[in-house]
Structure 1
Amino acid sequence: MQLALLPRELTPDAVLAELQRRRGAVNGVTARDLVFVITGRVSSADERKLRDIIVKLRTDGHPICAHPALGYHFAATASELNDACVFLVQRAHTSLRQAAAMRHVALPDLYGQLGLIPPSTTEEPSE
């Protein structure tokens, strides 16, 4: 007799275990599907919790990639990890542009107020 797998709670360990089985962009999974695989249910609250867990896991150094077209997955190559990091930086820059516009300040001024170096001076030269 084979026992059915019981749904698990959405925890960092459960998310990490599932994503470690999904290496490479070809194995990406949407937030909704990832929540369902782990918990056996679908809810927007669980999807929000998943995103918070992903932030924690990334902050702990796990190479979790994501892109709207690819879903969540573990980086299989250095190139995938780099692409994911570039995507995150672009999203952050978009948010900063919005904040600058809402405050009616130039983006370079906002960077200065935040003590950040604008991306144009931190990017590596292209070959």
Structure 2
Amino acid sequence: MISRDTVMFALACRIGQASGVRARDLVAEICGDSSPALERQLRAVIEELRLEGRPICGHPSTGYFIAANQEELRRTTDFLRDRAAKSFAQAARMLGVSVPELAGQLRLPS
């Protein structure tokens, strides 16, 4: 079963980028098998842990790992910020509004 405890236990020996593990492999390590549904569950648990402030890093090229230092953490937060900004820009374009309008920022009258 994928839980906060099982994820943290599995990541405890994965300190630093060089120890990263892909979602599919981490799920197999925790559950003995892998599936897209279990990988989504893993990502949801990792999101919860990050929202608690856990320094879980990850990138498609490195997999998931616990940050060994501030530089690894910064690279992950830069990746997350850039991905969010691109998604936000796409949503704004699809709706035909500016990014500030989508964000609900007030505009001053002209």
**TM-aligned CA deviation for residue 10 of structure 1:** 1.1
Where does residue 73 of structure 2 map in the other structure? 81
Number of aligned residues: 106
Where does residue 22 of structure 1 map in the other structure? 14
1:95 corresponds, among 59, 63, 87, to: 87
Which residue identity does 2:75 align to in structure 1? D
Q: SS in structure 2 opposite 1:10?
A: coil
Which residue identity does 2:95 align to in structure 1? R
Where does residue 50 of structure 1 map in the other structure? 42
Where does residue 5 of structure 1 map in the other structure? none
Runs (4+) of structure 1 moved beyond 4 Å? none
Q: SS in structure 2 opposite 1:65?
A: strand
Q: SS in structure 2 opposite 1:101?
A: helix
Where does residue 62 of structure 1 map in the other structure? 54
CA deviation profile, 1:72-112 (whole Å, cap 9, x unmatched): 0000010000111111100110110011001101223323x
Q: SS in structure 1 opposite 2:53?
A: coil
Q: More relative contact order in 1 or in 2 (CA 8 Å, sep 6+)?
A: 2
Residue segments in structure 2 that go unaligned for 5+ positions in a row: none
Which of the pair has more CA radius of gyration? 1
Q: CA RMSD in A?
A: 1.2
Residue segments in structure 1 that go unaligned for 5+ positions in a row: 1-8, 116-127
Where does residue 24 of structure 2 map in the other structure? 32
Give the % identical residues. 44
TM-score norm. by structure 2 comes to 0.91
TM-score norm. by structure 1 comes to 0.80
2:101 corresponds, among 104, 109, 113, to: 109
Where does residue 122 of structure 1 map in the other structure? none
